[in-house]
Chain A
Amino acid sequence: MNNLNNKLSLVSNNLPTEAEAAVWSILETVPDPEVPVLSVLDLGIVRDVKVAEPSADHPKGLASITITPTYSGCPAMDAISMDIRLKMIEHGYGKVNIISVLSPAWTTDWMTESGKQKLAAYGIAPPSHSTVEGAPVICPQCQSANTKLLSQFGSTACKALYQCNDCKEPFDHFKCH
Chain B
Amino acid sequence: MNAHPPINYSTIQLVKYTLHLADSNLILAQRNGEWCAHGPVLEQDIAITNITLDLIGQSRNFYQYAAQLINQSTEQPNNEATEDSLAYLRTEREFKNLLITELPAGDWAQTVLRQFFYSYYQLGLYEQLQNSTDAQIAAIAAKSIKETKYHVKWSSDWVLRLGDGTEESHQRMLKALEMLWQYTGEMFAPVEYELNMGIDFKELKEGWEQQVFAVLEAATLFQAGDGAQLNSAYMQAGGKTGVHTERMGFILTELQYLQRTYPGAIW
Residues of A within 8 A of B (CB): 69, 71-75, 101-106, 150-155, 157, 161, 177
Query: What mask results when residues 51 to 62 of chain B are scored 1 for a CB within 8 Å of chain A, else 0?
Result: 101111110110
Q: List 9 A-B contacts (CB under 8 A).
A: A69-B57, A72-B60, A73-B58, A104-B142, A151-B47, A153-B43, A153-B51, A155-B46, A161-B43
The residues of A that contact B153 with a CB separation of less than 8 Å are: 152
The residues of B that contact A72 with a CB separation of less than 8 Å are: 54, 57-58, 60-61, 140, 143-144, 147
Q: Is B140 a contact partner of A102 (Cβ separation < 8 A)?
A: yes
Q: Is A73 a contact partner of B57 (Cβ separation < 8 A)?
A: yes
Residues of B within 8 A of A (CB): 43-44, 46-47, 50-51, 53-58, 60-61, 135-136, 138-140, 142-147, 150, 153-154
5 shortest interchain CB distances as A-B pairs: A73-B57, A72-B57, A103-B139, A73-B53, A153-B47
Q: Is A103 a contact partner of B57 (Cβ separation < 8 A)?
A: no
- A103, B138: Cα distance in complex, Å: 9
Given A73-B60, A104-B142, 17 new contacts (CB under 8 A): A71-B54, A71-B57, A72-B54, A72-B57, A73-B58, A103-B135, A103-B142, A103-B143, A105-B139, A105-B142, A106-B143, A151-B44, A153-B47, A153-B154, A157-B50, A157-B53, A157-B54
Q: Is B61 a contact partner of A151 (Cβ separation < 8 A)?
A: no
- For A101, A106, A151, the residue with the greatest tally of chain B CB atoms inside 10 Å of its CB is A151
B65: nearest chain-A partner, CB-CB? A102
- A41, B9: Cα distance in complex, Å: 43
The residues of A that contact B47 with a CB separation of less than 8 Å are: 151-153
The residues of A that contact B54 with a CB separation of less than 8 Å are: 71-73, 157
Q: Is B135 a contact partner of A153 (Cβ separation < 8 A)?
A: no
B43: nearest chain-A partner, CB-CB? A151
The residues of A that contact B140 with a CB separation of less than 8 Å are: 72, 102
Q: Is B46 a contact partner of A102 (Cβ separation < 8 A)?
A: no
Q: Is B43 a contact partner of A150 (Cβ separation < 8 A)?
A: yes
Partner of A153, one of B61, B136, B142, B150: B150
The residues of A that contact B53 with a CB separation of less than 8 Å are: 71, 73, 75, 157
